[in-house]
Structure 1
Amino acid sequence: MAAITLNVTPKLNTKAKPLPCSLPKTLPPLNFSRSSFFRNGALIQSLSAKTNQSRFESSRVSSSSINALHSFDVVVVGAGIIGLTIARQFLLESNLSVAVVDASVPCSGTGATGAGQGYLWMVHKTPENEKWELAMRSRSLWETLARETQDKGMNPSDLLGWKKTGSLLVGRTTKESEMLKRRADELSAAGISAEFVSGSELHSKEPSLLVSENVGAAFVPDDYQLDARRAVAYLEKVNRQYAPEGRYAEFYNEPVTKLLRSDYVGEVDGVLTEKNSLGCKKAVVIAAGCWSGKLMHNLMQDFNVMLDVPVKPRKGHLLVLENFNSLKLNHGIMEAGYVAHKDAGLGSVSDPVQTSISMTATMDTSGNLILGSSRQFLGFDMEMDEGILNSIWERAGEFFPTLRKINVENLRNSREVRVGLRPYMPDGKPMIGQIPGLPNAFVAAGHEGEGLSLALGTAEMVVDMVLGNPLKVDPSPFTLQSRSH
């Protein structure tokens, strides 16, 4: 179990300079920085480790340097898929005003959202896992969202990259196949349409896939894919519809430097950025991905609430081949070993990086082949590693012989490389809930590679917590209180 060390006893600091006790209750200005949703590999490579490491670092800013004061009901720190869905949920389910603040822009190549593969799969999830209920709720909410867009005359495939592909979790050994048979049975018992398909049946479903007849795969025909970048663009569009009435604003490229409070009872009044002071009358939500731990630690120091939240960055690479015609896939495909690699813990002294490569293969609605995936503990390093890309290609070639005939070096002009940092938690569960000692401060972070699939359920849970609504999913596995000592 992940240890979250908490010291929540507020102490009076008689030497501290009082922070602003109130902020003007004016409507927030519209401060839109246009996001770029499709970034090329060169831009991603240009992001240095130093830049990313300081993404949310705390620094002191005097009140005289603040350009503007704005007041909102809710401030969400982080504009990834988690932060934007939380903002959307507040806007749809309440009359509250919301500000989203981030040190960068969505899908800018620094976090996990824009670098993901986009699968909404249940095939690799386990029903008895504590995240199962949240995953099922999120899946249902994504289905509802896709259906609602269609009912409004929009195409969810164009809008979200939404596609029901079904998914295959493929075994290569007898032991893996036995595990996959059990998994298919467990998924079926939990209400998911699932079956085990033998090697010969698997070949008919995916002719390009190389497997022997004595192995097989778990098959979930109703699993989905979407394009995270398109989904983010859609979420921003929805959120911005509330801007003219003064209920929504974005403050991008503005690192949060401080939390504001009016007294020493622990209530948060707002956040300070390098350019603005953003008041929050109802709540502040930290949804900053792998930067959340360091950010929370730095921001809480002035409150004498000491947090040691063990969320860590876990680096990943994806190789995207644009309009790739040499291989066609009918389903999303993942090797069974992916599950073990995903659940592996922090590296040892002898292997602190703990590099793992496992095959994942999808085709998006534009005909691009997306191959993954890698996992490494390298801090906030964002440099592209050609060696990792070669390993991903070689691993994919073990499953798809067609790829062995192609020199990956010849694909440089038609490729995109995605490098991102997953927010890893040692116990494999995200943090969702109120921060002890700060009654109106909440956190939603640590989803690692499941941010997309758990986003809508997470957003619903956070908003229901803030508004005091009945919760649809048991939050106890995710709260900080349940994992502290």
Structure 2
Amino acid sequence: MASASTFLSHPNPQANDVVSSAICQFKSCSFASQSTLFGSKFASKSLSLHTATTRPACASDSEPISASHSHQTFDVLIIGAGIIGLTIARQFLIGSDLSVAVIDKSVPCSGATGAGQGYIWMAHKTPGSDLWDFGLRSQRLWEDLTESLSEQGLDPLQLLGWKKTGSLLVGRTPEESDMLKRRVKLLCEAGLRAEYLSAIDLLVKEPELMVDKDTGAAFLPDDCQLDARRAVEFLEKGNRHYSSKGRYAEFYNDPVISLLRSGGSGEVEAMKTSRNILYTKKAIVVAAGCWSGSLMCDLLRESEVVLDVPVKPRKGHLLVLENFNSFQLNHGLMEVGYVDHQTAIPLPNISTSGLLDHDGQTLSVSMTATMDTAGNIVLAANLLGSARNWKNPSLVVYGTELGNSFPN
């Protein structure tokens, strides 16, 4: 999920095509399943899926500054080569004359960027919450970027895998439908386009979806999605145009080990990686995603700084069904349990057969489904401590309760 970002609206005038090399390679396997959500069209269908494996840092015509030197100096050092880290680098490169280095313990798309579905959805976010303003600004900045690309005669679908599909937050009980009606009202009051769909209206939007009389959905027509790998290729290619000017370098497969301080002032002046010592004139930016908290604690362990970064990884599964043509999904689908993931609370009286997180909270599974730009079905399930019973997700996707596939 999270392809939320801090994209600027400034286009890179030199990034006029897509890097042709793939960000990730895939291992393929297959399985068969029967559908209870989409009926017999899915029954006994052999499905191809893949899991991502990282590749070496790719080469291009605009190869970044060589990372073989043991000592180099840059204005800004950015830890993390996901969408966020590469976008921050892009802003510095476009909006200033600063030099930038991006450092990563692996390669792009090896973390949350590669594991995310590329959804830029607001349906499950609550106005006034901590994530609301961040998510709304992220969506608008992505839209600014796509508009600027279109004005240059470029295709956001080709460059970023960008699609304005709209999203459906689906409930299966009368209580969930009532909650969705209240949510639609709240979203409209916050300035978004949203409407409640009854079971009949929902079936018009998604003819292959199995619904009953109690099924309903919140529909946000302006929600979007992108292909995270294409977006990373776009960012890398644009950033690498500045390498020939001595302003950009990438240090992949080169984890940060420690910070180095000045002997006189005690200020941080460099970082030591597994292969390099990189000096900074201006700043170090940590954009390591869910690893930012643990990384900062490690880097500052010997200092007097008391740091609490409340960012932790959470368990999730992403499944890509390749060359799937049994039916078409018109929008992004999300089960109503995603709303609970914004404000997880313990519920000790629910029996979870031992499936509890480290804080003793009930574990929740919420699922999503959409089609990517290549026509593949993308299924995702996130596991999080919350008040929902993990054994009873409100949306059973493609005939298999993905919640039951999680290990204890």
1:205 partnered with 2:205: yes
Q: Does 1:370 align with 2:370?
A: no
Whether 1:291 and 2:291 are equivalent positions in the alignment is yes
* Of 3, 24, 27, the match for 1:38: 24
Aligned to 1:330: 330
- Superposition deviation, residue 40 in structure 1: 1.7
Distance in 2, Cα, partners of 1:35 & 1:266: 43
Is contact 2:167-2:332 (8 Å) kept? yes
Aligned-residue offset at 1:75? 0.2
How far has the Cα of 1:342 moved from its partner? 5.2
Greater shift after overlay, 354-363 or 328-337?
354-363
For residue 285 of structure 2, give the secondary structure of its aligned residue in structure 1: strand
Distance 1:163 1:183, change over 3 A: same
CA distance in 2, matches of 1:285, 1:273: 15
- Specify the alignment match of 1:103 in structure 2: 105
1:106-160 CA distance string (max 9 Å, x none): 013xx21101111111111111113322222211110011112222222111111
The answer for the alignment partner of 1:398 in structure 2 is 396
Change (3 A) 1:45 1:188: closer
Matched, 1:161 2:179: no
Query: CA offsets, 1:379-428, max 9 Å, x none?
Result: xxxxxxxxxxxx99x979835xxx44x9x9xxxxxxxxxx9xxxxxxxxx
Change (3 A) 1:395 1:158: farther
Instruction: Give the Cα separation in 1 of the matches to 2:223 and 2:131.
Output: 17
3-state SS of 1:291 partner? helix
Instruction: Give the whole-Å Cα distance in 1 for the aligned partners of 2:316 and 2:112.
Output: 9
Letter in 2 for 1:352: D
- Partner residue of 1:241? 241
| Secondary structure in 1 matching 2:396 | helix
Is the partner of 1:164 in helix, strand or coil? coil
Map 1:111-260; keep pairs closer than 5 Å. 111-260=111-260
Work out the CA distance in 2 between the residues paired with 1:169 and 1:350: 26
**Structure 1: gaps of 5 or more residues:** 1-33, 48-65, 378-390, 409-418, 420-485
Amino acid at match of 1:38: C
**Aligned residue type for 2:70:** A
SS of corresponding position for 1:128: coil
Alpha-carbon spacing, 1:142–1:346, altered in 2? closer, same or farther (3 Å): farther
Task: Report deviation, 1:82.
Answer: 1.4
SS of equivalent to 1:40: strand
Cα-to-partner distance string for 1:265-307 (whole Å, 9 max, x where unaligned): 4522121112111111110011112222221112113433243
**Given that residues 269 and 279 in structure 1 are in contact (C-alpha distance below 8 angstroms), is that contact kept between their aligned partners in structure 2?**
yes
Separation of aligned partners in 2, 1:167 and 1:248: 37
* Post-superposition offset of 1:223: 0.9
Are the counterparts in 2 of residues 268 and 283 from structure 1 also a CA contact under 8 Å?
Answer: no
Residue in 2 that maps onto 1:91 = 93
Amino acid at match of 2:366: S
Matching residue of 1:358: 366
Contact 2:337 2:394 in 1 (8 A): no
Map of 2:81 onto structure 1: 79
Contact 1:35/1:105 (8 A) holds in 2? no
Secondary structure of the corresponding residue to residue 106 of structure 1: coil
Specify whether residues 327 and 276 from structure 1 end up closer, same or farther in structure 2 by C-alpha distance, changes over 3 A only.
same
Which structure shows the bigger proportion of residues in helix conformation?
A: 1
The C-alpha deviation readout for 1:429-474, integer Å capped at 9, x for no partner, is xxxxxxxxxxxxxxxxxxxxxxxxxxxxxxxxxxxxxxxxxxxxxx
- The separation in 1 between residues aligned to 2:101 and 2:112, in whole angstroms, is 21
Percentage of pairs with the same residue? 55
CA deviations 1:237-280 (Å, max 9, x no partner) are: 11111111111110001011111221464522121112111111
User: Aligned pair count?
Assistant: 338
Paired residue type of 1:69:
H
Deviation at residue 345 of structure 1 after TM alignment:
5.7
Counterpart contact for 2:127–2:186, Cα < 8 Å: yes
Q: Give yes or no for contact 1:114–1:228 (8 Å, CA) kept in 2.
A: yes
Q: Which runs of 5+ in 2 are unaligned?
A: 1-19, 29-49, 55-67, 349-353
Amino acid at match of 2:194: A
Larger displacement relative to structure 2 (157-166 or 289-298)? 289-298
1:395 & 1:179 partners in 2: Cα distance? Answer: 16
Question: Residues of 2 paired with 1:41 and 1:73: CA distance?
Answer: 39
**Offset from partner CA, 1:215-244 (integer Å, 9 cap, x none):** 311111111110111111111111111111
Q: 1:231 to 1:298 in 2, by over 3 A?
A: same
Moved more, 254-263 or 128-137: 128-137
TM-superposed deviation, 1:355: 4.4
Q: TM-score, normalised by structure 1?
A: 0.64
C-alpha separation in 2, matches of 1:293 and 1:347: 27
Distance across 1 between alignment mates of 2:283 and 2:126: 33
Q: SS state of the match for residue 78, structure 2?
A: strand
CA, structure 1 residues 395+344, in 2 after alignment: closer, same or farther (shift >3 Å)? closer
Q: Which SS does the other structure have where 1:85 is aligned?
A: helix
Q: With a CA cutoff of 8 Å and minimum separation of 6, indicate the structure with the bigger relative contact order.
A: 1
Amino acid at match of 2:87: T
Deviations 1:42-69 (A, max 9, x none): 796889xxxxxxxxxxxxxxxxxx9521
1:211 CA drift (Å): 1.8
**Which residue of 2 is the match for residue 16 of structure 1?**
none
Output the CA distance in 2 between the equivalents of 1:375 and 1:266. Answer: 42
From the superposition, tell whether residues 195 and 266 of structure 1 become closer, same or farther in structure 2 (CA, over 3 Å): farther
User: Could you list the runs of 4 or more consecutive aligned residues of structure 1 that deviate by over 6 angstroms after TM superposition?
Assistant: 346-350, 394-397
How far apart, in 2, do the equivalents of 1:280 and 1:346 lie? 44
1:169-201: CA deviations, max 9, x gaps? 011111111111111111111111111111111
Contact 1:36 1:107 survives alignment (8 Å): no
Give 3-state SS (helix, strand or coil) of 1:250's partner.
strand
Q: Is the 8 A contact 2:254 2:273 kept in 1?
A: yes
